[in-house]
């Protein structure tokens, strides 16, 4: 059983950006602990938590600002722009059911290593 629910999934051939809601925390956990964004390098399997700063959501366009970069997306496509090297990653917005079993297992393992499980 997985210890999270996938809320947003954006991918390209090399990269996944995923928002998850943790299900393994106490009821009094903060919003920043419960909802997290992860950057998954598909080539290496490395997972990095994106440090959420703020968001903006217009009628069709969503924007998320992280310490590491900026994500802008609509219902079908998105772009992640890295802060430190300005690399741009075009992404496809996928149905959350499209998160692979391999990614689910890797995310579960990553969350367990965070030391915040209930």
What is the percent of the chain where pLDDT is above 70? 95
The arithmetic mean of pLDDT across residues 37-43, rounded, is: 96
pLDDT over threshold 70, residue 116:
no
pTM: 0.91
Whole-angstrom distance, CA of residue 118 vs CA of residue 102: 23
Q: Write out pLDDT tens, residues 56-85.
A: 987 799 999 999 999 999 999 999 999 999
Mean pLDDT of the chain: 92
Average pLDDT value for residue range 78-103 = 94
Q: What element of type H or E holds 55? A: strand 52-57
Triad 97, 101, 104: Cα angle to 5°: 85
């Amino acid at each position: 059983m997985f210890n999270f629910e996938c809320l947003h999934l954006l991918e390209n051939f090399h990269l996944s950006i995923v928002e998850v809601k943790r299900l393994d925390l106490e009821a009094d956990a903060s919003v920043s602990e419960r909802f997290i964004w992860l950057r998954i390098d598909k080539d290496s399997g490395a997972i990095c938590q994106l440090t959420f700063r703020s968001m903006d959501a217009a009628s069709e366009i969503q924007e998320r600002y992280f310490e590491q970069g900026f994500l802008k997306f609509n219902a079908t496509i998105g772009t992640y722009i890295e802060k430190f090297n300005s690399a741009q990653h075009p992404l496809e917005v996928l149905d959350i059911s499209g998160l692979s079993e391999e990614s689910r297992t890797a995310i579960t393992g990553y969350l367990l290593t965070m030391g915040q499980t209930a």
